[in-house]
Amino acid sequence: MDKKTCVIVGAGSFDGLMNTPGGGDLVIAADGGYTYLREMGIEPDVLLGDFDSLEIAPEHRHIIRHSPIKDDTDMALAAAYAQEQGCTRIFLYGGLGGRLDHTVANLQLLMGLSRAGVEAYLIGGQNIITAITRERVTFGAAARGILSVFCLSEPASGVWERGLKYSLSGATLTCDITRGVSNEFTGRESRVEVRSGTLVLFWGQENGLPEARVSLG
């Protein structure tokens, strides 16, 4: 069954969309991301935020205004709205670079979405980042370059890496070691899986999305 997709564009560093949103996709501008979308000639379905980046909310048919005094970032609020609309695949842009604390917050957001069963990707700076929870992801033989795998929370166990330069078999990764950094694609089909816990994966945008994602839960 096809997943309902949402594209969210935030106010961080932005170097374009990997794919043009489809006709059925939900497009959300998170505050200053509205400027990026308008420059590309894309009118978002929803404009959301506290508008500290835009300073003033522009005229739009569907504005969701939040107070600057809030517990979540505009990106997290946009992702929550997308989930309320039934989206189970979310692409996040404009969430890297700029303020380092917001970048870290967006990595946390990826992990939270993964644990909620949402397939989410944070894209920018020629990188794709995703989180997997009790999942297996598979990359095709054409993938090239670096694949880095991090545990950023409680220990992740049952970690397998196959078809890469360095293999893992049922390993446990923790948030205080860098064992998963800078693995390499080898021209063979490869996979990463975690059977308990959550991992965050980084790879080059030129490789596109994984060929497959399978839940192990």
The reply to whether 121 and 30 lie within a common domain is yes
Q: Which helix (H) or strand (E) holds 79?
A: helix 74-84
Q: Is pLDDT above 90 for 62?
A: no
Q: Band the pLDDT of 214: cuts 50, 70, 90.
A: very high
End residue of a domain, out of 95, 125, 155 = 125
The reply to whether 88 and 171 lie within a common domain is no
The reply to whether 83 and 15 lie within a common domain is yes
Domains contained in the chain, number: 2
Neighbours of 101 (CB within 10 A): 9
Q: Is pLDDT above 60 for 69?
A: no
Q: Is pLDDT above 70 for 68?
A: no
Q: Is pLDDT above 80 for 66?
A: no
The reply to whether 93 and 109 lie within a common domain is yes
Residue 27 burial (10 A CB sphere; 0-12, 13-18, 19+): buried
The reply to whether 119 and 135 lie within a common domain is no
The reply to whether 184 and 115 lie within a common domain is no
Q: Is pLDDT above 80 for 35?
A: yes
CA distances 31 to 34, 67, 205, Å, are 6, 12, 25
- Give me the DSSP letters along 139-175: E-TT--SEEEEE--SS-EEEEEEESBSS-EEEEEE-T
The reply to whether 112 and 137 lie within a common domain is no
Instruction: Give the bridge partners for 49, in sequence order.
Output: 65
The reply to whether 78 and 97 lie within a common domain is yes
The mean pLDDT value of the chain amounts to 91
The reply to whether 91 and 53 lie within a common domain is yes
Residue 116 is part of which domain span? 5-125
* Predicted pLDDT of residue 59: 67
Higher confidence at residue 214 or residue 49?
214
State pLDDT tens for residues 71-123. 678 899 999 999 999 999 999 999 987 778 889 999 999 999 999 999 999 99
pTM recorded for the entire structure: 0.92
The reply to whether 112 and 136 lie within a common domain is no
The reply to whether 111 and 173 lie within a common domain is no
Calpha distance 160→167 (Å, rounded): 7
Which CATH number do you get for residue 15? Answer: 3.40.50.10240
Q: Band the pLDDT of 56: cuts 50, 70, 90.
A: low
The reply to whether 70 and 164 lie within a common domain is no
